[in-house]
Structure 1
């Protein structure tokens, strides 16, 4: 917790103080170099950590403290969606890192198989229990390139699109279309800004604070429901937007879309 407070004081809060300036300077900007952090520190967060081992160690320990926060827990993924209703099916976990989420889902739902996709330098650090090797496998993949795994039941992406602008989110969905079978689900789990008064005030305050922190780092913020609807519908008329549901006691929401069009069709 000491490392978390120090990281916030030294790195994040000075960036938060420059958010307004960054938004005015780059009104359509999203990315690491058009941010309050850049204005405050003259470099991105990643560059700051790469160039200072002390700050990197402190940041890693701070993120470890955050991982103990139940609002970030994988249990919200396991319990927040009706995975059992899929029966025997394949789930593609895009940007899934070393497979932390897929491994927990595989333990809870023995009929599901998982393909975890990420950069090679990430997945090469993955490890699996012997009991999961037949049901969880790894693949190098760029989410903006055409999806190579066809006919999966669910294409799942967690806490990745939060760092992308709306145009990139549309491009991500379009890259999935050639792989989608009728009824395939695209499930996005991301932080979300709820409509005012729709959750307890303490929770809404936390969402708004996260909103400012996100702006300070990437000049973007957790999206509201209308933004998600617009992104899904812009990606292709074959997508049916099913809506957004907040995961109980979590800082994230599930955005669900179902493919109703023909394979490979943008119409």
Structure 2
């Protein structure tokens, strides 16, 4: 493709995005410290998201063509007047956005040091494999944790744990992790007046979003005691009769008979064996009609998705390897984990809502053999 053709495609997508902003009375993007932190797409319009992704890819390609492979350009900071340096929109976010500040601190002090130890960790783990998936064998444990897993490290350091929760909140602000994809990505209506068990649900933010959208559903949020205590204290009063909180270890047998067991970004933190244990512990409480929903990245072969999505997917995959000695999984990987958990369970459906980084993996019983 010629430079002119590429520029024409960039112009077409830019015009589409401008029209979107104008029609919804939204501000145009800028480098001002007052600009929106993410590109405005409040309704998660898939056409807008597709145009935005195409614009990102094409502008990067055009820039690379214009630079040539041998050139390196160092970006200048914003220098509004001599001898003064001012915030850009990006640096100002560290001051004005507390979760983003937490994410930056976590990245600098925990993720980056772990990346420097990844090669050594891989050499120790079965000559380049990921070993048995023990978190205490991770690059993070070598670099920061003094032999501790990331979970042990945070449990002993409440300030670091609080910052990590803030960092995960910042990750959740990414449009690709919008809770609306879970709210609208599954047929919750068919659950009727059922009970949804939000396993590892933190302070209950996903259950709250679902409860606001589906008034017939009830929710039990399970996590560490101190986490669910915080969630209970912050729960909006109008949801107090439908959203409850329970301290629970997901490596222990499930005690709540639910219609749906919802696990968002839980199993990817664990090895295949441990992820299977988490799922296996749900089985005794399940009914024949119960469903397990995993909200997770499902990896695909290179070239199947656009470059922006693939870059995100591979970055998270490597980060999980560094921090936890685990990985993101393909459809086949998830099916293997489910079979390992219980041969009566099967992946029934995998659906990735348009614009979402995550897929919704629906799991249910195939053969009950009298279990109910």
TM-score clears 0.5: yes
Alpha-carbon contact 2:217-2:242 (below 8 Å) kept: yes
Match of 1:125, SS state, is helix
Aligned twin of 1:206: 312
Relative contact order, higher structure (CA 8 A, sep 6+)? 1
What is the DSSP-based 3-state SS (H/G/I as helix, E as strand, rest coil) of the residue aligned with 1:198? Answer: coil
Shift of 1:9: 4.0
Q: Which residue of the partner structure matches residue 119 of structure 2?
A: 20
**In the aligned structure 2, how far is the partner of 1:129 from the partner of 1:178?**
32
In the alignment, structure 1 residue 89 sits paired with structure 2 residue 163: no
Q: What's 1:149 paired with?
A: 256
Q: Is the Cα–Cα contact under 8 Å of residues 187 and 254 in structure 1 kept in the other structure?
A: yes
1:249 Cα shift? 2.0
CA distance in 2, matches of 1:262, 1:139: 28
Question: Given the alignment, which residue of 23, 31, 37 partners 2:140?
Answer: 37
Mark the runs of 5 or more structure 1 residues left unpaired by the alignment. none
The change in CA–CA distance for 1:81 and 1:163 in structure 2 (over 3 A counts) is same
Structure 2 residue 235 is matched with structure 1 residue 132: no
Q: Give, in angstroms, the shift of residue 250 of structure 1.
A: 2.4
1:110-129 equivalences in 2 (<5 Å): 110-126=215-231, 127-129=234-236
The 3 A distance-change label for structure 1 pair 113 and 20 is same
Asked which structure has the greater CA Rg, the reply is 2
- The Cα offsets for residues 180-237 of structure 1, whole Å up to 9 and x where unpaired, read as 1112111111233223222111110111111111111111111111110011122223
Distance in structure 2 (CA, Å) of the matches to 1:63 and 1:93: 17
The answer as to whether partners of 2:121 and 2:137 remain within 8 angstroms in 1 is yes
Query: Residues 178 and 264 of structure 1 are in contact (CA less than 8 Å); yes or no, is this contact kept in structure 2?
Result: no
Tell me: CA distance 1:118–1:49, structure 2 relative to 1, closer, same or farther (3 Å): closer
Q: Unpaired runs of 5+ in structure 2?
A: 1-92, 95-100
Q: SS of the counterpart of 2:113?
A: helix
Contact 1:179/1:263 (8 A) holds in 2: no
**What is the 5 A alignment of 1:178-189?**
178-189=284-295
Q: Does 1:233 align with 2:336?
A: no
> Which has the larger displacement, 96-105 or 191-200?
191-200
Q: Which moved more, 1:155-164 or 1:231-240?
A: 231-240
Query: When you count strand as a share of all residues, which structure comes out higher?
Result: 1
Contact map agreement 1:229 1:243 (CA 8 A) in 2 = no
After superposing the two structures, state which structure 1 stretch, 221-230 or 56-65, moved more.
56-65
TM-score under structure 2 length normalisation: 0.64
RMSD of the alignment, in Å?
2.6
Greater displacement, 92-101 / 246-255? 246-255
SS in 2 for 1:173: helix
Partner secondary structure for residue 256 of structure 1: strand
So what's the TM-score if we normalise by structure 1? 0.87
Q: Secondary structure at the match of 1:33?
A: helix
Distance in 2 of aligned mates of 1:94 and 1:65: 21
Deviation of the 1:138 alpha carbon: 1.4
- Give 1:166 deviation, angstroms: 0.7
Q: Which moved more, 1:23-32 or 1:188-197?
A: 23-32
Q: Secondary structure, in 3 states, of the residue corresponding to 2:361? A: strand
